[in-house]
C-alpha cells in the first residue's frame, strides 16, 4: 500500500456496512439528479422540435437548440457509468465528491459532485502523505454500473506512515485493479486513477506546442484524451468556436479510443486520421513504404510548386480560330501575360483572371487591327472583347495555356505523366521519379492527402463554380416550392375559403430552405468539411510517425500553434517519421516548444519490459525504457517451431484456451498475417479477426505491427521476430512495439536462432511444446 493507513472494504464486508450504505444513498441521489436533468433536456428538445421555424432565423435557432439538447442528453448518458468515483474529506471539515461532471444542488447552489477537472478535485490526484493538499482522507468508490460495490480509504497522515510504504503512485489500489483488469478491445478512461505526472500534463497551459515523450504504455494516449476533455472544460469559449482535433494513426485506433471522450462527458472533439483531412477525398489506397516516404519528404514542397508552374504554358505560337480568322499568340505575348499574373503573387486559379485579361487584350487588338481600328468605336472594341471571351475556341486556348485546376486534377495529372514528373522533380533520381508514377484510376492514399492540401494552397480555391451551382440549386428549389404552393392554392381555392391556406403559413423561400436538410452543424462537423478550418487545439497521437508534409498540413490547421503532441521516438516505424522532436518543430516554432516526459509504464509488466528493454538498447544505446508499474510474476517465453503456418495455430489455440477472458493478439510480419489468420481460424473456437478487419471485441486478433500500434491485449504471441525486424527499415523499433502490447503474457515463436536482442527469453521446453501440440 502506498500510504499510511489503508482500509479496504468490499460490499460484503460487515465492518464497513455503514459507510458503504451512506455512499450508496449519496450516489443514488446523484443518479436521481442525472435522470432529472436528462428528462428535462429531453422535454426541452421535444419542445424545440415542435417549433416550426417560420423564418430562417427561427429555424436556425430551432436547429441550434435541438443540437444543444441532443448533445446534453449524450453527455448525460456518457457519464452514467461510474458517475462518481471518489470523495475527499478535507482538514477544514468540507467533503467533496469527485466525478465525471459537476452537479449542483439547485436550492442552495452547493456542489453535489465536483467535476474531476475543477480545481477543487485536483487534490484527489495529487495529495500524498508528504504533500496532503489539505486532504485528511481520500476515498475511492468502486462502482458497477450505478451501484457502489466497495470503497477504499487512504488516511493521509504522515505521522503514521512507515517509510518503506511510500510509493510514487496515487490511488494505488484502484490503479492496480484497473491495470490488471481484462481488456475489452475498447480503451477505458483513467479518470479515477490519473497519476501526478499525468495530471501535470493534462492541466498544462493550452498555449504553444507541448510534446509528451514517453515509452510504451506510459499513458500518452490516455493523457492526451483527458487533456482534450480538460481543455474543453477549462477553455470552453475558445474551443467551442474553433473546436479540437484529435489525430490518430488509423481507423482501428480511432475506434479503440472512441469511447473515452464521451465517457468524460465530452463529444465536441473531431477524431480523425491523416487520410480524412482533405474533405471530399477518401484516402483508402495502400502503397509501398518507399513511395510514401518520398511523398512525405519536405522536398515535395518545391515539387508541387513546380507542378503548378508547369501548367502555366508558353508555347512558341498559339493559334486561335475566331469567327473564321486565325489569331496568333506569340510566346512574347503569353510570357508577358504569365509574368504579370505571377507577379500578383496570387495562387494559380486566383491569378488566372489577370492572365486571361492580358490575353483577351492581345486578341482584341488583333481582331480590331484586322477589321480596321479606325472603323471602330470604343463600344465596338468592348463588344469584340466580350465575344472573344465567350468563344469556345478562345476558352479552350485559355484552358490550355493556364487551366483552372483542382488539387485532385493537378496531382493525378502529375502522377500519370513521366514528363510532368520529370519537369517537377529536377533533384530526384530516375528511380525516385519512377516511384511517383501511378495510374490515374488508382485510389488516393494517406500520403497523398498533404500533397492535395499543398496543391489546394498553391492553386487557391476557385469556388465561383460551386457558388453558382449553389445559387442555381437554390433557385430551382424555390421554383419547385412555388410550383407546390400553386398546386396547393388551386386545390384549396376549390375547397373552402375558411381553411388556412398553405401559403398563409409558409412562403416559397422558406419551403426551399426546408429542403436543405443540412440542418445545424456542430463545430466538429463544420471543421470536418472545411479544409481551411483553424482548430482551437490539436492533439496528435503516435506523432513520431508523421512525415514533414503532414506536419506542414497540421501547422496550417493550427495557426495559433496550440498543440499537444504525444509519441515515442523509439517506436517510429514509418520511414517518413521522426526520431528527433527538434527536427519536427524547428521550421515552425524554432525552439519554442516544451518537452515533457512520462516515465512509468502502466501496461507492460516488468518481466516483459526487461525483454523489451534489451531491444530498446539495440535500437539506440542512449534510449531509456520506462519503469513498469507492476510485475505479473509470469515469465515471457520463446519457442522454436519448424513452420509458422503449421505450428503457430496450435500454440495460439493453446494460449487462448488458457485464458479466462480478454484478448489474445498474434503479431506477425505483414506477409504472414492473412495465411496465418486463415490457418488459426480453422483451428480455434473463438472469434478471430485478421488484419484490417479488426473488430475490437474479438477473442483473438491477427495483425502486423502497423495495425497493432497504440493498441493493447491481455496476451501477445509474436511470430517470426526476424521477419518483423527484416521487413521494415526500422525493424527493431517494430519488434519493440510488438513486444510491448501485452498487459500480461508474452510468447515468441521463432524458426532459427532467436535474434540477439531477445537472448533474455527462456526457451519453452519440449514438454510444454508437446502440451501445446496436444491441443491440435
Ligand atoms: N493513470 C492510469 N490509471 C489507469 N490506467 C492507466 C493509467 N495510465 C495509463 N493507464 C493504462 O495503461 C495503458 C497504456 O496507456 P496508453 O495506451 O495511453 O499508453 P501509450 O503511452 O499511449 O502507449 P503506446 O505508446 O505503447 O501506444 C492503457 O490501458 C491505459 O488505460
d(CA 129, CA 2): 9
Mean pLDDT of the residues in the chain: 86
CATH class of 194-299+425-491+503-599: alpha beta
221 among the known binding-site residues? Answer: yes
- Whole-number Å distance, alpha carbon 703 to ligand 1 midpoint, is 20
Distance, CA 392 to ligand 1 centroid (Å)? 63
Check pLDDT > 90 for residue 553: yes
Residue 614 alpha carbon to ligand 1 centre in Å: 21
Mutate to test the pocket of ligand 1, among 602, 667, 742 (most ligand atoms within 8 A of CB): 602
Q: Identify the residue whose C-alpha is closest to ligand 1 atom 18.
A: 219
Q: Give the residue, by CA position, lying nearest to ligand 1 atom 8.
A: 219
CA of 664 to the centre of ligand 1 (A): 18
Q: Please name the residue whose Cα sits nearest to atom 25 of ligand 1.
A: 216
Q: Is 267 part of any known ligand binding site?
A: no
Q: Take residue 219 and report the three cell numbers written for it.
A: 499513458
Helix axes of 378-390 and 392-401: crossing angle, nearest 10 degrees: 70
Among 192, 201, 221, the mutation site with the greatest number of ligand 1 atoms within 8 A of its Cβ is 221
Give the Å distance between the CA of 356 and the centre of ligand 1.
58
Task: Give 218 Cα–ligand 1 centroid separation in angstroms.
Answer: 5
Nearest CA to ligand 1 atom 23: 217
Mutating to test ligand 1, I would choose from 178, 189, 190 the residue with most ligand atoms within 8 A of its C-beta, which is 190
What sign has the CA pseudo-torsion 651, 657, 659, 663? Answer: positive
> Does domain 606-774 sit in CATH 3.40.50.150?
no
Ligand 1 atom 30, closest CA:
219
What letter does residue 545 receive in the DSSP assignment? G
Ligand 1 geometric centre to CA of 220 (Å): 6
Measuring CA to CA, how many Å separate 523 from each of 270, 530, 578, 664? 9, 11, 32, 38
Residue 743 dihedral angles phi and psi, to the nearest 5°: -100, -15
Please report the atom of ligand 1 found closest to the CA of residue 216.
26
Give distance in angstroms: CA of 300 to centre of ligand 1: 36
Residue 515 has pLDDT above 80, yes or no: no
Q: Which of 216, 253, 603, 734 to mutate to test the pocket of ligand 1 (most atoms within 8 A of CB)?
A: 603
- Cell numbers for 676, please give them: 496465418
CB 159 within 8 A of CB 5: no
Residue 320 predicted with pLDDT over 90:
yes
Spatial separation of the C-alpha atoms in residues 156 and 129, rounded to whole Å: 5
Backbone phi, then psi, for 584, in 5-degree steps?
A: -70, -45
Q: Evaluate if residue 17 carries a pLDDT over 60.
A: no
Any binding-site annotation on 216? yes
Give the list of residues 6+ apart from residue 716 with CB closer than 8 angstroms, or none.
Answer: 664, 665, 666, 667, 738, 739, 741, 742, 745, 746, 747
The whole-angstrom distance between residue 424's C-alpha and the CA centroid of its chain comes to 32
DSSP string, 279-290: TT--------HH
Distance in Å, CA 201 to ligand 1 centroid? 14
Task: Check the annotation: does 332 bind a ligand.
Answer: no
Q: What is the mean pLDDT of residues 504-532?
A: 60
Mean per-residue pLDDT, 597-626: 93
- pLDDT confidence tier of residue 141, bands split at 50, 70 and 90: very high
pTM score, two decimals? Answer: 0.85
CA of 214 to the centre of ligand 1 (A): 10
Atom 26, ligand 1: which residue's CA is nearest? 216
Most confident range (mean pLDDT) of 40-49, 163-172, 313-322, 628-637 is: 628-637
The answer on whether 218 is annotated among ligand-binding residues is yes
In whole angstroms, how far apart are CA 92 and each of 95, 133, 134, 135?
9, 12, 8, 9
pLDDT(478) > 70: no
Give, for ligand 1, the residue of 86, 192, 217 to mutate: max count of ligand atoms closer than 8 Å to Cβ. 217
606-774 matches 194-299+425-491+503-599 in CATH topology:
yes
Overall average pLDDT of the 558-575 stretch: 91
Written as nine digits, the cell of 578 is: 521522426
pLDDT of residue 477: 57
pLDDT on residue 172: 84
Q: Please report which residue ranges of 260-344 form alpha helices under DSSP H.
A: 260-263, 289-296, 300-309, 331-343
pLDDT of residue 337 exceeding 70, the answer is yes
Answer yes or no: are the C-beta atoms of 553 and 455 closer than 8 Å.
no
The annotation status of 662 as a binding-site residue, yes or no, is: no
Return the best residue to mutate from 222, 608, 625, 632 for the ligand 1 pocket (most ligand atoms within 8 A of CB).
222
Question: How far does the centroid of ligand 1 lie from the alpha carbon of residue 610, in Å?
Answer: 18
Nearest protein CA to atom 9 of ligand 1, as residue: 219
Judged against a pLDDT cut of 90, whether residue 635 lies above it is answered with yes
Distances (CA, A) of 638 to 355, 611, 635, 720: 69, 11, 10, 11
The predicted complex's ipTM stands at: 0.99
Kindly state the cell numbers that stand for 358. Answer: 492580358
Atom of ligand 1 nearest to the CA of 218: 21
Question: Residue ranges of the domains in the chain?
Answer: 19-169, 194-299+425-491+503-599, 313-401, 606-774
Summarised one tens digit per residue, pLDDT across range 296-307 is 999 999 999 999
What mean pLDDT is predicted for residues 259-269?
88
**Residues with Cβ within 8 Å of residue 19, at least 6 apart in sequence:** 9, 151
- 107-116 pLDDT tens trace: 888 999 999 9
What does 117-160 look like in DSSP terms, one character per residue?
A: TSGGGHHHHH--SSS-TTEEEEEEEEEETTEEEEEEEEE--GGG
The binding-site residues of ligand 1, defined as CB within 6 angstroms of any ligand atom, are 175, 178-179, 188, 190, 193-195, 198, 214, 216-222, 568, 602-603, 710, 712, 740
From ligand 1's centre to the CA of 221, what distance in Å? 7
Q: How far apart are CA 116 and CA 102, in angstroms?
A: 8
183-to-146, 190, 389, 707 alpha-carbon distances in Å: 21, 14, 67, 17
Yes or no: say if 758 and 721 are a contact pair by the CB < 8 Å rule. yes
Q: Residue 99: beta bridge partners?
A: 84, 115
Q: Which atom of ligand 1 is found nearest the CA of 188?
A: 31
**Does the structure show a pLDDT above 50 at 33?**
yes
pLDDT for the residue numbered 482:
54
What single-letter DSSP state applies at residue 233? Answer: H
More confident residue, 610 or 696: 610
Instruction: Identify whether the C-beta of residue 3 lies closer than 8 Å to the C-beta of residue 155.
Output: yes
Distance CA 579, CA 582 (A): 9
Note the pLDDT of residue 404. 95
Res 502 pLDDT > 60: no
Q: Helices (H) and strands (E) in the chain — how many of each? A: 32, 24
Amino acid at each position: 500500500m502506498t500510504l499510511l493507513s489503508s482500509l479496504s472494504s468490499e460490499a460484503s464486508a460487515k465492518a464497513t456496512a455503514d459507510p458503504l450504505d451512506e455512499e450508496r444513498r449519496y450516489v443514488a441521489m446523484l443518479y436521481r439528479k442525472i435522470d432529472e436533468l436528462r428528462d428535462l433536456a429531453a422535454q426541452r428538445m421535444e419542445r424545440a422540435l415542435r417549433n416550426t421555424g417560420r423564418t430562417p432565423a427561427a429555424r436556425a435557432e430551432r436547429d441550434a437548440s435541438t443540437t444543444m439538447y441532443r448533445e446534453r442528453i449524450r453527455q448525460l448518458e456518457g457519464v452514467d457509468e461510474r458517475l462518481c468515483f471518489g470523495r475527499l474529506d478535507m482538514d477544514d471539515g468540507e467533503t467533496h465528491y469527485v466525478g465525471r461532471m459537476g452537479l449542483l444542488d439547485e436550492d442552495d447552489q452547493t456542489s453535489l459532485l465536483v467535476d474531476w477537472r475543477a480545481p477543487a478535485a485536483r487534490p484527489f490526484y495529487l495529495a500524498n502523505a508528504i504533500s496532503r493538499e489539505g486532504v485528511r482522507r481520500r476515498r475511492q468508490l468502486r462502482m458497477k454500473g450505478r451501484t457502489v460495490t466497495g470503497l477504499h480509504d487512504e488516511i493521509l497522515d504522515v505521522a503514521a506512515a512507515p517509510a518503506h510504504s511510500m510509493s510514487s503512485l496515487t490511488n494505488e489500489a484502484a490503479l492496480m485493479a484497473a491495470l490488471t483488469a481484462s481488456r475489452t478491445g475498447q480503451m477505458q478512461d483513467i479518470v479515477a486513477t490519473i497519476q501526478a505526472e499525468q495530471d501535470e500534463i493534462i492541466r498544462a497551459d493550452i498555449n504553444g506546442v507541448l510534446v509528451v515523450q514517453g515509452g510504451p504504455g506510459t499513458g500518452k494516449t490516455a493523457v492526451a484524451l483527458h487533456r482534450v476533455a480538460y481543455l474543453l472544460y477549462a477553455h470552453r469559449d475558445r474551443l467551442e468556436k474553433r473546436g479540437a482535433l484529435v489525430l490518430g494513426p488509423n481507423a482501428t485506433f480511432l475506434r479503440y479510443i472512441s469511447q473515452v471522450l464521451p465517457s468524460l462527458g465530452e463529444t465536441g472533439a473531431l477524431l480523425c486520421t491523416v487520410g480524412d483531412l482533405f474533405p471530399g477525398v477518401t484516402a483508402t489506397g495502400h502503397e509501398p513504404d518507399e513511395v510514401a516516404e518520398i511523398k512525405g519528404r519536405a522536398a515535395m514542397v518545391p515539387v508541387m510548386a513546380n507542378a503548378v508552374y508547369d501548367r502555366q504554358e508558353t508555347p512558341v505560337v498559339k493559334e486561335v480560330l475566331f469567327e473564321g480568322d486565325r489569331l496568333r499568340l506569340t510566346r512574347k505575348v503569353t510570357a508577358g501575360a504569365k509574368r504579370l499574373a505571377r507577379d500578383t503573387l496570387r495562387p494559380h486559379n486566383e491569378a488566372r483572371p489577370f492572365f486571361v485579361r492580358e490575353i483577351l487584350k492581345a486578341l482584341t487588338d488583333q481582331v480590331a487591327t484586322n477589321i480596321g481600328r479606325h472603323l471602330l468605336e470604343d463600344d465596338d472594341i468592348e463588344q469584340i472583347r466580350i465575344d472573344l471571351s465567350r468563344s469556345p475556341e478562345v476558352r479552350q486556348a485559355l484552358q490550355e495555356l493556364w487551366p483552372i485546376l483542382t488539387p485532385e486534377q493537378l496531382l493525378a495529372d502529375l502522377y500519370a505523366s513521366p514528363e510532368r514528373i520529370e519537369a517537377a522533380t529536377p533533384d530526384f533520381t530516375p528511380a525516385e521519379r519512377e516511384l511517383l508514377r501511378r495510374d490515374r484510376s488508382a485510389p488516393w492514399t494517406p500520403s497523398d492527402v498533404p500533397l492535395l492540401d499543398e496543391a489546394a494552397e498553391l492553386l487557391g480555391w476557385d469556388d465561383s463554380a460551386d457558388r453558382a451551382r449553389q445559387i442555381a440549386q437554390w433557385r430551382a428549389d424555390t421554383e419547385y416550392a412555388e410550383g407546390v404552393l400553386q398546386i396547393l392554392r388551386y386545390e384549396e381555392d376549390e375547397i373552402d375559403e375558411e381553411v388556412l391556406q398553405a401559403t398563409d403559413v409558409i412562403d416559397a423561400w422558406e419551403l426551399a430552405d426546408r429542403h436543405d436538410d443540412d440542418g445545424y452543424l456542430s463545430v466538429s462537423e463544420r471543421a470536418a468539411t472545411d479544409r481551411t478550418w483553424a482548430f482551437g487545439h490539436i492533439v496528435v497521437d503516435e506523432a513520431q510517425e508523421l512525415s514533414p508534409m503532414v506536419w506542414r498540413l497540421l501547422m496550417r490547421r493550427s495557426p495559433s500553434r496550440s498543440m499537444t503532441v504525444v509519441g515515442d521516438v523509439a517506436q517510429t516505424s514509418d520511414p517518413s517519421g521522426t526520431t528527433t522532436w527538434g527536427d519536427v518543430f524547428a521550421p515552425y516554432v524554432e525552439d519554442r516548444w516544451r518537452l515533457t516526459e512520462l516515465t512509468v509504464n502502466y501496461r507492460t509488466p516488468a518481466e516483459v519490459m526487461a525483454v523489451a528493454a534489451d531491444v530498446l538498447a539495440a535500437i539506440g544505446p542512449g534510449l531509456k525504457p520506462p519503469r513498469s508499474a507492476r510485475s505479473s510474476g509470469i515469465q515471457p517465453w520463446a519457442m522454436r517451431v519448424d513452420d509458422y503456418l503449421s505450428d503457430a495455430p496450435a500454440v495460439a489455440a493453446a494460449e487462448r484456451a488458457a485464458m479466462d477472458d480478454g484478448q489474445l493478439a498474434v503479431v506477425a510480419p505483414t506477409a504472414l498475417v492473412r495465411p496465418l489468420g486463415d490457418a488459426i481460424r480453422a483451428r480455434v473456437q473463438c472469434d478471430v479477426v485478421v488484419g484490417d478487419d479488426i473488430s475490437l471485441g474479438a477473442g483473438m486478433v491477427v495483425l502486423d505491427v502497423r495495425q497493432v500500434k497504440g493498441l493493447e491485449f491481455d496476451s501477445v504471441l509474436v511470430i517470426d521476430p526476424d521477419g518483423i525486424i527484416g521487413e521494415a527499415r526500422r525493424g527493431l523499433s517494430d519488434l519493440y512495439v510488438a513486444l510491448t502490447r501485452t498487459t500480461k503474457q508474452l510468447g515468441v515463436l521463432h524458426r532459427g536462432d532467436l535474434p540477439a536482442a531477445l537472448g533474455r527469453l527462456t526457451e519453452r521446453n519440449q514438454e510444454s511444446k508437446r502440451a501445446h501440440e496436444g491441443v491440435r
